[in-house]
Structure formats: structure tokens, C-alpha cells
Structure 1
Amino acid sequence: MSWRDSLHQGLVIPAHPLCLTAERTLDEPRQRALTRYYLDSGAGGVAVGVHTTQFEIREHGLLRPVLELAALEAAGSGAVLIAGVCGPTAQALREAALARDTGYHAGLLSLAALRDATLEELIQHVQAVSKIIPVFGFYLQPAVGGRILPHEFWKRFCAIENLCGIKVAPFHRYQTLDVVRAVAESGRENDIALYTGNDDNIVADLLTPFTFGGTTVRFAGGLLGQWAVGTRSAVQLLRRIHEGTNPSLLLALGAQLTDLNAALFDVANGFRGCIAGIHEVLVRQGRMAGRWTLNPREDLSPGQSQEIDRVLAAYPHLLE
């Protein structure tokens, strides 16, 4: 099966965190072990160099080594490798070439650096990157650096030839529908794999058939920071969704997953502790040495640790 076929079949793709030492240098053994945990748990791919990996890796010269480590661990596994691609066009082209040369299948293209670009400039940017590597679109929520992207943008985006998928992560139902409707209207629903990035609404996204103008499209899987923890549970959940398990039971699990995510992503404080929250769970599970981030000021918010205590006790079945 080709990697594109695997994407359409539906995969759990964790957004890969960054393991650091107390000196805030790359903890290579734990970084490699974390990739192995995801693959051993049944994840169909990993996304590296993305928001959960910390965009600051670029400023610290860590993008290449982090991409290389994950690619080395995934070699021969059949995993789909997605690399984050960021920045203005010149930077994005360099990162796309690095991802391609390191063995990645597609680039998850963030448009956060083009906050003031026109729609036409955005499309030209995507087209340029797509000539180097297949593009995985990315609707990033504004709370963590994204920008509002209207239906007209997604309509034109879906016409770009070397497009393999879209991660829909605005954390907003109307904006999610803008993307899904554009895919349905494009006639390319068999070319573009939809992946939920809405960590606040994972199960409902995956369960829902979206019908526009007689065309029905569905989310195939998830590319999620939430699935950087509890990956084995996520694989079991996606399997149950694909097998048609009782939707009421699945929606109940979905509500629990949203509650869990609220604590990990620090929703009460505008997502300020979202990366530290993921790290905290991995530390408690022995997969990280500490929750250190590249930015020394980035840590858990007041009260977040107690919220994590609560949800870990309430939902152990979601964290295997």
C-alpha cells in the first residue's frame, strides 16, 4: 500500500514532542524512544517539526537532527512521515527540501508567518512549496499563532495539484466546515485526505459524514498533539470508529477526551501551557526526563497540574 493510500485509509498520527535535558539540549535517546513508542503503539505515522515539537527548534538549529532521528527510527516501518514546514517562502522552500531529502512524505505547511499576506500571495506560497514536496494543508487556530482562512482560500487551495491532505485545526465549527465544504465542492475528495486537528472535538469530527451538494466527505484520521499521549488508546479508538461501534458510546468517550484535552492544553489559560501539559503526562509516564521546553518561560499554568491530576485519575483508559 502506498503512503497516500494509507493516509486515505485513516491513521493515528501523533504530533511529536521534543525531549530535552535539564540543560535544554536535545535528549537524543529519549527522542528516539518516544518515536518508537508511537510506532509500537500502532500509530500510522508521525508529524515532526510541528507546533507540538516547538517551532523554536529552528532558532536552535534542531530542525534537521530532530527530523533525522524520527526518520531513522521509522525506517522500514511503513509509517507516513510528515514534516512541519514554516516561515516566509524562502524559509519554507528550504524546509520543504530538507524534509524531502530526509525521507519525509509530505510537508505540513503552516501559514502563520504570512499573517498579512493576501489570498493570492498565500496560494502562490503553497504552490511554490508543492513543487518540492507534497503539501499537507494546515488550518492552525489563531490562539496559537494561526490566522483565519476563509472558504475562498480553501476552495483555491484544493485545486493545487500536489496536495495530499489537510489538517483541520481551527478549534471552531464554522471554520472547520469552511474546509470540509471546500474539499467536497472541489471534486477531489479522493485525492485529499481530511485529518482532524481539532483536539477539542476529535470523535465528533471522525464520526460525522459531511454532505455538501450531494458529495459526502469524512475525516479519515487525526494528526493531533493530544495523540502524543495515550497513543495506543487512540489507535483503539480510531479502529472502533472505523468498525462502526455504537456512536453513542463513542460520543461519550469523545466528551471524556475533550475534558482530558482541556487540562493538557490549558484551555482555561488560553492554551499557554499546552506543550508543557503534554510533556507533564509524558514525564509521569517515564517517557521524558522533564517537561523542559526551549523557552524557559514556557511551563504549566497555575492550577494546571491539579487539573492534570484530575483527568489522569478520571480517564486512565484514554492514556494507554
Structure 2
Amino acid sequence: MHWNEIPPESLAVLRRGAVIPAHLLALDGQRRLDERRQRALTRYYLDAGAGGVAVGVHSTQFAIRDVGLYEPVLSLAMQTARDWEPLGGRRPLFMVAGLSGATGQAVREAELARRLGYHAGLLSLAAMKGSTEDQLVAHCEAVAGVLPLVGFYLQPAVGGIPLTAAFWRRFAAIDNVVAIKMAPFNRYRTLDVIRGVVAAGAGDRVTLYTGNDDHIVLDLLCPFTFVHEGRPVTVRIRGGLLGHWSVWTQRAVQLLERIHAAVDSGQAPAELLALDAQVTDCNAALFDVAHDFHGCIAGCHEVLRQQGLLQGIWCLDPAEGLSAGQSEELARVQRDYPHLVDDAFVAQHRARWLA
């Protein structure tokens, strides 16, 4: 499947810039898939105005592959997206499947995602640790032969590997790459990705998405200008594919709409700039920065548990849970930044999603 086979209306969602939540995993007390609540999460994201969802990614827990849940979870999300009538009516979506593992596994996952109807695959390179740049590029080319790719710069703290601007130039030059999610949580490495895309002359084809949950607002507001073939080229990060946006999603959609309006007008109000620090402060609590991201998934689960969408905060790994003091930090940011929380929206529609 080539990117020019993606329905134009879905590709337009990606290009304009959308909220694409990194879908979480709903488990019951025996750590088995809770299909009812998993379906409710997808419905929540779509009713909140998300432009699609990313399933089988880090927030969905990479271990779903080890327990036979990869295909069921991807299939359930796609079927729910097709069947659900969102608030305001149906609209185009851009659906992303997480891909991981060595080349054989990643290709098989891409083939499955293509059969299920996903538009692109978010390709994690964590399993390729120790590979040369040539080997990494060959791996990406092999997977891109099956499904359009969204590149993924995963931060090293949760298993990612450092990647150079030269790698990203070669990656962006692969014709079937449609986007890159930048999530190194590092400004220097984020700039490496953008420089690589500009150096490849791929800024029109490769849409940039932030995965830097610690720097969301300014990533989306800033123009990035680099020189290509003697001329300045300016590109922007258009949307977000974020674990942070797997909660309080309605507020994320409203935030991105404000940012798009500010970019279109050429003016960024001071109060919008101030949100960058507030959103980052919320993320510190959600992602458990104080304990090196140990509770990053459990923190998101806890928000949804409090809202009644999840029954508990269980992860596939029993060792994953909230860290000491994380619950108190979550309470603090919800108290301090009520304008970033969508509790009322969830309370209004929760019964519909759980039906």
C-alpha cells in the first residue's frame, strides 16, 4: 500500500494536523482485555474530536504482543471507529497502527494493519538497538514496502535509541513515509529530525507530529527554519500523536484548534504561550517524571479510572503502577489547571460510551 492510496479526506486530516491519542489498554482485575471499556475509550476519543487513534503503540503497552492481544486490540479499535457515530456526525479519520520488532515481525504487523484498514504504521526502532544506520534504513524500507510509515523517535528512557540527523534525512527520503512523530523529549534531537526532513527536501510530504509530551504547545506554535540548497525553508509541527492526549482529550482538541487559529493569524497570545508550562506541569504528574517515567502509563490510567472510564489502573506488567506521591501530584495539577481537564464532558457522555 502506497500513501497515495490513502483516501484523500483521511490524508488531509493528517496533513492539516490532528489530535491523535496514543490509545490506552483497558484491562480487568485479572489483567485480561476488558472489551467493553476498551471500546468505550475509542468512542471517547472520537466524540472528543480526535482525528484518529494510534493503537498498539507504547501507551497501549508493547507487551500486548507477548500475550496475544495485538491483533484483537487493533481489530477492536478499527471496528469501533467504523461503527461509531461520533457527536456531530461522521468525519474522516487517520488511523495508525504501532509496529515494532525486528524486520520480520514489523513486516508481519504492517501486513496485519493493512488488512485491518489502518492508514499508516508508527514504526518503533527500539528492537533494532545496535544496528548500523544502513541496517536501520534497510529495515524501514522493508516495512515501508507494505504500509505507509510514520517515523517514531522514542525517548531512550523508555527504550528508544539515539538517531542522527543523517538517519532522519535518509528516512524522510523513503517515498512511503508520510509523517514523523518526534518523541525524544530532547530539543537537540527534535531539531535533528526536522533538519533531516528539510535536508531531504521532504517537508511537503512528511508531516511533523509532536510526541514530546513535555513540550507540546511550543512544539506546535514554533516555526522551524533551516537552510536547504542555499535557501531558508520553514516547516511546522502540525499535530500531536501523544500519550498525554489519551486523557483530557476534549481539552486537547480545543487546544489544538486554538493553536491552529493562532498560527493561521500569525499571532500567539500570551495566555496561549503560558499554557505550555501548564501542560508540561500536568505531564510531569501523568508521566511520573519524578521517578523516571515508571508510572507513565498508570498515571494516564488513574485519570480515566477517576472519570469512570476504566475500572482500575492495571497494566500487563504487575510491577507497573503509580509511584509514591504520583497520586498527590495528579490531584494537584487537576486542581490547579481545571481548564485542561475534561471531567464534565466525560461525565455527560460516559454512559453512552459504555453502553
Shift of 1:207: 0.3
How far apart in 2 are the matches of 1:185 and 1:115? 25
Extract unaligned runs of 5+ from structure 1. none
Residue number in structure 1 paired with 2:193: 179
Q: For residues 221-268 of structure 1, give each alpha carbon's deviation from its aligned partner in whole angstroms, at most 9, with x where no partner exists.
A: 000000001111011100001111634211211110000000010001
Q: 4, 7, 17: which is aligned to 1:10?
A: 17
Amino acid at match of 1:3: S
Matched residue, 1:137? 151
Deviation of the 1:186 alpha carbon: 1.7
Tell me which residue corresponds to 2:110.
96
1:314 deviates by 1.0
Judge conservation of contact 1:168–1:176 (CA < 8 Å) in 2. Answer: yes
Is the deviation greater in 70-79 or in 26-35?
A: 70-79
Asked whether the equivalents of residues 19 and 245 of structure 2 are also in contact (C-alpha less than 8 Å), the reply is yes
Amino acid in the other structure paired with 2:15: H
TM-score scaled by length of structure 1: 0.98
2:181 is equivalent to residue 167 of structure 1: yes
Q: Give yes or no for contact 1:185–1:215 (8 Å, CA) kept in 2.
A: no
Do structure 1's residue 287 and structure 2's residue 301 form an aligned pair?
Answer: no
Report deviation, 1:185.
2.0
Give 1:78 deviation, angstroms. 2.0
Aligned residues between the structures: 320
Residue from 64, 67, 80 that aligns with 2:94: 80
Could you tell me which residue of structure 1 aligns to residue 321 of structure 2?
299
Give, in angstroms, the shift of residue 82 of structure 1: 0.3
Indicate yes or no: 2:259 matched with 1:241.
yes
Where has structure 1 moved over 6 Å in runs of 4 or more? none
Aligned-residue offset at 1:105: 0.4
User: Percent identical across equivalent pairs?
Assistant: 59
Instruction: Please give the alpha-carbon distance, in whole angstroms, between the structure 1 residues aligned to 2:24 and 2:116.
Output: 18
Q: Distance in 2 between matches of 1:261 and 1:232?
A: 16
On the 8 A contact 1:17/1:53 being kept in 2, the answer is yes
Tell me the distance in 1 between the aligned counterparts of 2:153 and 2:239: 15
Larger CA deviation: 236-245 vs 17-26: 236-245
Structure 2: runs of 5 or more not aligned: 1-7, 83-89, 343-355
Residues 13 and 92 in structure 2, CA contact (< 8 A), matched pair in contact too: no
Deviates more, 1:181-190 or 1:44-53: 181-190
Q: Deviations over 1:99-146 (max 9, x none)?
A: 111110000000000001000000000000000000100000000000
User: Deviations for 1:14-56, whole angstroms, at most 9, x for unmatched residues?
Assistant: 0000000001100000000110000000000100000000000
Structure 2 Cα separation of the partners of residues 284 and 267 of structure 1 = 21
RMSD: 0.9
Tell whether the 8 Å contact from 1:207 to 1:247 is kept in structure 2 after alignment.
Answer: no
SS of 2:114's equivalent in the other structure is helix
Output the CA distance in 2 between the equivalents of 1:11 and 1:72.
Answer: 21
Shift of residue 2, structure 1, vs aligned partner: 2.7
Q: Deviations over 1:144-200 (max 9, x none)?
A: 000000111001111101000000000000000000111122211110010000000
Q: 164, 168, 172: which is aligned to 1:158? A: 172
Residue equivalent to 1:227: 245
Q: 2:128 is matched with which residue: 93, 114, 117? A: 114
User: 1:231 is matched by which residue type in structure 2?
Assistant: T
How do 1:49-68 and structure 2 match up within 5 A?
49-68=56-75
Contact 2:56 2:70 (8 Å CA) reproduced = yes
